[in-house]
Structure 1
Amino acid sequence: MADLFDSPGDPAPATTPRPLADRLRPARLAEVIGQDQVLGSDGPLGAMLEAGSLSSLILWGPPGVGKTTIARLLADESDLHFVQISAIFTGVPELRKVFEAARMRRGNGQGTLLFVDEIHRFNKAQQDGFLPHMEDGTILLVGATTENPSFELNAALLSRAQVLVLERLSPADLERLAQRAEKELGAALPLTGAARDALIEMADGDGRALLNLVEQVAAWKTDVKLDTGALTTRLMRRAAKYDKGGDEHYNLISALHKSVRGSDPDAALYWLARMLAGGEDPRYLARRITRMAVEDIGLADPQAQAICLQAWESYERLGSPEGELALGQAVIYLALAPKSNAGYVAFKAAAKLARKTGSEMPPKHILNAPTGLMKDQGYGAGYDYDHDAEDGFSGQNYFPEGVKRPVLYSPVERGFERDLKKRLDYFARLRGKRGV
């Protein structure tokens, strides 16, 4: 089921009470709750076990979803010796001993499944140290991480292991786990239906957290069923998973940005609130919100950027929590504003053209000629002063002479850019009229 079944060392003495999570440890992979996308017959692990060909793995997922348990049961079902270490407490000398013991075991015909918890905490050199032992079959590596392997693990290690994504347990999965716990305890939890739902919600997809909560509730001495109010009075809500410097940070800011781009103010406000509740710096959010105005709204609504800057300034003056309301209002405005990335696309195209054309000089007719020598070189010759031209528009070329005039900015038919498109079309007609 979950890492909730971690076993760091030797079994506890028979006289020591066993935690509920330990008592509910699955004995077979078929008993694991959740992760059907990995363990099912059509899933990668199911297919490997059926074929009798297990490869090194990286199990990536949040806490309490089954990483340690799955690794332990894989060793059992593959007839491999299970060794568990933690990257937090294991150094190079300990790793050498693990590899040497695995080598001796292999010489005696016994394979080793080495489970490395928090594998992302090993540095590059330590991660490289696994490679020769994986390649010669001394160990079958199963690493567990809560961080994105793409960012935290070496490419060489990733190329030799398959990454499997484990998901948060669904409310239905957690309910099944709660029922299994009640069967083990021999009694139903003293909760109303609504309170039971609240308990499931408090676990926030973490099976280990749920069993800890269940164990607490089961210990209460009460003859009546407790409602949600009584439950939340006695239990603290589990803090939402959020790492300001980790993968969750990027997941949530991506969700916020795409909700704004998708013109959904309710979703945008939700993700903003999630990040604030997780302890995100509101100044970071103010900067990212302003970027959204520039990138996804642009000149379709020229006020959007100003509103974001005003919200940013309001936060700086008010602080939290009052100033956070200004950020929320800016997010609502952005979500409902007309969208255009035409300016963003045009700038990127201009940057690409600038890199391609290198040091091409501007055409001489738009260069100043403050000296006689420069006049002799043709600087400024033939320049048409636009204010003297018909309609205040000369239509001259302003690109380098060797650069064919491109179209970089293509405004959309939304918001204020609709008016800008009319102006562009107007100037294009004047160029055509004057044969430019």
Structure 2
Amino acid sequence: MPDLFDTPPDPAAAPKEAPRPLADRIRPQSLSEVIGQEHVLGPEGPLGAMLAAGSLSSVIFWGPPGVGKTTIARLLAHASDRHFVQVSAIFTGVPELRKVFDAAKLRRQQGKGTLLFVDEIHRFNKAQQDSFLPWMEDGTILLVGATTENPSFELNAAVLSRAQVIVLERLSLADLERLAQRAEKTLGRALPLKAPAREALLEMADGDGRALLNLIEQVMAWKVAAPLDTDALSTRLMRRAAKYDKSGDEHYNLISALHKSVRGSDPDAALYWFARMLEGGEDPRYLARRFVRMAVEDIGLADPQAQSHALHAWEVYERLGSPEGELALAQTVIYLALAPKSNAGYMAYKAARALAKKSGSEPPPKHILNAPTRLMEEQGYGAGYAYDHDAEDGFSGQNYFPDTVRRPVLYSPVERGFERELKKRVDWFAKLREKRNS
């Protein structure tokens, strides 16, 4: 009697006339045939080292679609002589998981281990994830999870503590070319494409091996008299949409790249990531808000106009909308990237908040307190206050911190942009203060 949730019969056993997708026909039969992921499967890689030592442990594959997560899991089961069972978190609940665990327990009693591959494991809720723990701990199952989302945010700490996270990378153009050559060998003929069109086809796959094989199947089905150029290929094929999830990892990865490119004063890179986010469908208003933050956090008083520029571009976008208003945002990207940078104001603010938290409820010194009543005068409120406009240079040099707080230096302007002028003023007042106090 077959086990529940076992892998479907091997397609190779199907009748020869049954159509099989190209991706299945050229599926690797051993880990050495896997294209890409050398950093994981090589002798020094985590999986390579595990297999060499004969001590395979539970793992979580984190990576984009079409990079071999399912294929590697199947081959790991074969290499470790375990029964392969695959479930999807989208279609499986706790009752179904119990059946899987019961079958794995029975299989273990018969001397056969089970490698349970869970696709989209991040879609399981906490209770479902917790159900894996006892079976992982007693060795009933070896868990191999696959996720496109950051495991740190999507998986329970208990699961992560019992499994090693392994990052799989998108396939490079060289990897995709090797995959295309393997497909041509299997199909017995070359792609009917000129060299530039062939490169364009690889780029259309966007690092996804499965997507490339699907594209190759389409191209191979065409009846053409001569190899096609790039324009002809683009006419027949739609470019694959860039991978972008406005609420997932790609969103945070790209805004991080954009912000750091602006901070690093690289307008070309900043424009590129700005365009990538727009192409992915990001809301321009979100980007406008982030530009204001960049102006405040990374430019500050080195260029006081940066904040106004970012706010004005936001206003222009609200009035014009897309696509015209996006040009104003693009110009802001350039302006912010080329502006002098300083986080001195940001650091001063954080230091002030830390000092305020530490000093608690210390009152201001009495000489800077108003005394609207006689009682307050008798208590010394306002006594000894020096009116700065009456002092030499319009500066009294008095202490304005609580009496118990030693005067700190919170704001340290940099020698860039407008803060050069502010630094001169800070230094000037410091000298006057020292002179007055002496």
TM-score if structure 1 supplies the norm length?
A: 0.97
State the partner residue of 1:36.
Answer: 38
Distance in 2 (CA, whole Å) between partners of 1:68 and 1:24 is: 14
Once the two structures are overlaid, the 10-residue window that deviates more, 7-16 or 227-236, is: 7-16
Distance in 1 (CA, whole Å) between partners of 2:188 and 2:117 is: 34
Q: Deviations over 1:89-144 (max 9, x none)?
A: 00010000001111111111110000000000001111111111100101000000
State the partner residue of 2:391.
Answer: 389
Distance in 2 (CA, whole Å) between partners of 1:28 and 1:190 is: 30
Distance in 2 (CA, whole Å) between partners of 1:120 and 1:363 is: 57
Q: Deviations over 1:318-355 (max 9, x none)?
A: 11111111111001001000000000110000011011
State the partner residue of 2:3.
Answer: none
Given residue 38 of structure 2, which amino acid in structure 1 is its aligned partner?
A: D
1:434 counterpart SS class: helix
Distance in 2 (CA, whole Å) between partners of 1:123 and 1:225 is: 50
Distance in 2 (CA, whole Å) between partners of 1:16 and 1:54 is: 36
State the partner residue of 1:123.
Answer: 125
1:190-269 paired onto structure 2 within 5 Å:
190-269=192-271
Contact 2:397 2:437 in 1 (8 A): no
2:437 counterpart SS class: coil
Which of residues 94, 111, 114 is equivalent to 1:109? Answer: 111
The yes-or-no answer on 1:404 pairing with 2:409 is: no
The yes-or-no answer on 1:318 pairing with 2:320 is: yes
Deviation at 1:16, TM superposition (A): 2.3
State the partner residue of 1:3.
Answer: none
Distance in 2 (CA, whole Å) between partners of 1:254 and 1:295 is: 14
Distance in 1 (CA, whole Å) between partners of 2:139 and 2:7 is: 25
Given residue 254 of structure 1, which amino acid in structure 2 is its aligned partner?
A: S
The yes-or-no answer on 1:9 pairing with 2:8 is: yes
1:84-163 paired onto structure 2 within 5 Å:
84-163=86-165
Structure 1: 5+ residue stretches without partners: 1-6
Deviation at 1:373, TM superposition (A): 1.6
Return structure 1 stretches of 4+ with deviation > 4 angstroms: none
1:242 counterpart SS class: coil
Distance in 1 (CA, whole Å) between partners of 2:310 and 2:79 is: 57
State the partner residue of 2:419.
Answer: 417
Given residue 117 of structure 1, which amino acid in structure 2 is its aligned partner?
A: D
State the partner residue of 1:278.
Answer: 280
Deviation at 1:11, TM superposition (A): 4.4
1:288-327 paired onto structure 2 within 5 Å:
288-327=290-329
Deviation at 1:380, TM superposition (A): 1.2
Q: Deviations over 1:189-246 (max 9, x none)?
A: 1100000000000000000000000000000001101000000000000000000000
Distance in 2 (CA, whole Å) between partners of 1:316 and 1:362 is: 44
2:399 counterpart SS class: coil
**Identical counterparts, % of pairs:** 80
Distance in 2 (CA, whole Å) between partners of 1:376 and 1:71 is: 82
2:158 counterpart SS class: helix
Distance in 2 (CA, whole Å) between partners of 1:381 and 1:131 is: 70
Distance in 2 (CA, whole Å) between partners of 1:370 and 1:305 is: 40
Deviation at 1:8, TM superposition (A): 7.0
Distance in 1 (CA, whole Å) between partners of 2:350 and 2:364 is: 20
State the partner residue of 2:76.
Answer: 74
Contact 2:7 2:85 in 1 (8 A): no
Distance in 2 (CA, whole Å) between partners of 1:375 and 1:131 is: 71
Deviation at 1:9, TM superposition (A): 3.4
Which of residues 350, 365, 368 is equivalent to 1:366? Answer: 368
Deviation at 1:416, TM superposition (A): 0.3
Distance in 1 (CA, whole Å) between partners of 2:174 and 2:145 is: 27
Given residue 302 of structure 2, which amino acid in structure 1 is its aligned partner?
A: A
Contact 2:59 2:163 in 1 (8 A): yes
Given residue 290 of structure 1, which amino acid in structure 2 is its aligned partner?
A: V
Distance in 1 (CA, whole Å) between partners of 2:34 and 2:282 is: 35
Which of residues 330, 334, 340 is equivalent to 1:332? Answer: 334
1:308 counterpart SS class: helix
Given residue 174 of structure 1, which amino acid in structure 2 is its aligned partner?
A: L
Given residue 108 of structure 1, which amino acid in structure 2 is its aligned partner?
A: Q
2:144 counterpart SS class: strand
1:237 counterpart SS class: coil
Deviation at 1:312, TM superposition (A): 0.4
Given residue 100 of structure 1, which amino acid in structure 2 is its aligned partner?
A: D
Given residue 8 of structure 2, which amino acid in structure 1 is its aligned partner?
A: G
Given residue 37 of structure 2, which amino acid in structure 1 is its aligned partner?
A: Q
Distance in 2 (CA, whole Å) between partners of 1:232 and 1:404 is: 70
1:383 counterpart SS class: coil
